[in-house]
Amino acid sequence: MYRILTFNNISVKGLERFPRDQYETSSDIAHPDAVMLRSHKLQESEVPEAVLAVGRAGAGVNNIPVEAMSRRGIPVFNAPGANANAVKELTIAGLFLAGRHICQAWAFARDLDGTDAEINAAVEQGKKRFTGFELPGRTLGVIGLGAIGVEVANTAIALGMNVVGYDPEITVRRAWQLSSRVDQAHSVDELMSRADMVTVHAPLNEATRGLINGSRLAAANPGLVLLNFARSEVVEEQAVLEALDREHLAGYVCDFPSNALKGRDNVIALPHLGASTVESQENCAIMVADQLREYLETGNIRNAVNFPEVVMPRGGKGNRLCVVNANVPNMLGRISTALADAGLNIEDMYNKSRDELAYTVVDVEGAIPPAVVETIGAVEGVLRVRVIE
Ligand SMILES: NC(=O)c1ccc[n+]([C@@H]2O[C@H](COP(=O)([O-])OP(=O)(O)OC[C@H]3O[C@@H](n4cnc5c(N)ncnc54)[C@H](O)[C@@H]3O)[C@@H](O)[C@H]2O)c1
Ligand SMILES: O=C(O)CC[C@@H](O)C(=O)O
């Protein structure tokens, strides 16, 4: 029986991917084999020693101590692209909300008092405050052209906008998906100087913390509208407030409310709703549940943010050995020597590395005795050894 410890509300459709006769899933499990979560800020101490894997039912992994997990040989899986459409839709909604002052206008209309004739008079008198602008012909800057950024960029093109994008590490896959009408910026500064509206879709990490700061906002076009559905810390909030006060920034639409943003006329702060659709929650939970199951049951790794992709079909009737080790020379030699010394014949083998880590999967004929596992586990640099029968 495998045990999955959950944090946050995980879609039932995802949890149903774990067969009941093989898996127990609960937010209250003492000795879990894996952890599954959404935005919960996971502490290393919440991951017991025996945990084999962590699954993030979403895109961003800044709430997970990924480096600590890597040091312990634990893959962290996420769900790339599974919530991209939901975030794209809300971002595009954000363009309209800001361009037409929809939230401010709705609040004005909601609070009108008097007879219908008086309300009508107040409407005609008050509506000029909410004169907006249309999107065609405006330039949208998209920072981060991953799963979400590409969808936002392509939709903005379809709406008649000019789009300029910046991503220093765009993948070949995303480049193929991106409309050829998206213009490339060579830096964030260039993008900011060319855009009327800017939307950020980069992950939060040390390089992107405070990516949108005071000097970048000061160099941007007056009247800029900034959208942030990535993470709060990617944008320096104080700099945004100052730029709004100077009326250099015309609006800030984000998914991250705070005290400082409260009560500001030109701020629309939503309660982290980007991925909050039934579809996206199901997609994320199903994708991550399937990846966790595959890892637990076969050792295969798909979509881990800290491990290489390793998928080897299960062959024969023997055992599978899975070894996580430091990416240093001669590991394969030592693993195969330990197996050969025990008289075990290797049927198939796959080894791949990523940064500091390497992962090896070996199918052998017959059973792997515990002594072999102990020998391999004792090799310097080996972090974890597991046998799947
Ligand atoms: N509001 C929400 O509910 C919500 C939902 C999903 C994702 N997100 C956030 O959005 C982020 C992006 O999600 P995604 O699915 O598109 O991820 P992704 O990994 O597919 O794309 C991120 C892209 O950002 C690029 N990037 C990295 N550093 C950059 C930099 N310094 N400048 C410009 N681009 C940079 C990467 O190369 C990558 O192409 C997530 O990491 C998460 O923090 C928020
Ligand atoms: O689970 C959520 O609601 C938010 C997820 C989102 O922030 C993500 O990074 O995928």
H-run or E-run covering 141: strand 139-143
Q: Based on the fold, state whether residues 61 and 127 are members of the same structural domain.
A: no
Residue 31 burial (CB < 10 Å; 0-12/13-18/19+)? Answer: exposed
pLDDT given for residue 80 in this prediction:
98
The CATH number of the domain where 2 resides is what? Answer: 3.40.50.720
Q: Is the CB of 54 under 6 A from ligand 1?
A: no
Q: Is the CB of 145 under 6 A from ligand 1?
A: yes
CA distance 199 to 206: 19
The partner residues of 43 in beta bridges, in order of sequence, read none
Q: What are the residues whose beta carbons fall under 8 Å from the beta carbon of 49, sequence distance 6 or more?
A: none
Is 90 exceeded by the pLDDT of residue 317? no
Q: Based on the fold, state whether residues 108 and 246 are members of the same structural domain.
A: yes
Q: Which two tokens stand for residue 249?
A: 């920034």
Closest-CA residue to 358 (of 387, 321, 332, 388): 332
Which residue's CA lies nearest to atom 4 of ligand 1? 274
- 146 alpha carbon – ligand 1 mean position (Å): 6
Q: Which atom of ligand 1 is nearest to the CA of 204?
A: 43
Q: What is the pLDDT of residues 292-315, one digit of tens each?
A: 999 999 999 999 999 999 999 987
Residue with tokens 């008079």: 121
Is 90 exceeded by the pLDDT of residue 323? yes
Q: Which ligand is nearest to the CA of 206?
A: 1
Q: Is the CB of 276 under 6 A from ligand 2?
A: yes
Cα-based torsion angle of the residue sequence 105, 111, 113, 118 in order, rounded to the nearest 10 degrees: 0
Q: What is the pLDDT of residues 165-202, one digit of tens each?
A: 999 999 999 999 999 999 999 999 999 999 999 999 99
Last residue of a domain, one of 269, 296, 328: 269
Q: Based on the fold, state whether residues 328 and 381 are members of the same structural domain.
A: yes
Q: Based on the fold, state whether residues 248 and 283 are members of the same structural domain.
A: no
Q: Based on the fold, state whether residues 286 and 245 are members of the same structural domain.
A: no
Report the pLDDT averaged over residues 3-20: 97
| Residue 235: band (very low, low, confident or very high) from pLDDT cuts 50, 70, 90 | very high
Closest-CA residue to 255 (of 87, 7, 388): 87
Q: Based on the fold, state whether residues 263 and 283 are members of the same structural domain.
A: no
Our count of domains for the chain comes to 3
Q: From the centroid of its chain, how far is CA 204?
A: 9
Contact 273, 249 (CB under 8 A): no
Is 90 exceeded by the pLDDT of residue 316? no
Q: What is the pLDDT of residues 29-70, one digit of tens each?
A: 999 999 999 999 999 999 999 999 999 999 999 999 999 999
Which residue's CA lies nearest to atom 5 of ligand 2? 58
Q: Based on the fold, state whether residues 210 and 222 are members of the same structural domain.
A: yes
Q: From the centroid of its chain, how far is CA 242?
A: 29
Contact 332, 360 (CB under 8 A): yes
Q: Based on the fold, state whether residues 220 and 258 are members of the same structural domain.
A: yes
User: Whole domain around residue 301: which residue ranges?
Assistant: 1-83+275-307
Q: Based on the fold, state whether residues 195 and 337 are members of the same structural domain.
A: no
pLDDT given for residue 315 in this prediction:
76
Please report the ipTM that was assigned to this predicted complex. Answer: 0.99
Is 90 exceeded by the pLDDT of residue 274? yes
CA distance 213 to 369: 58
Report the pLDDT averaged over residues 18-24: 98
Q: Based on the fold, state whether residues 132 and 243 are members of the same structural domain.
A: yes
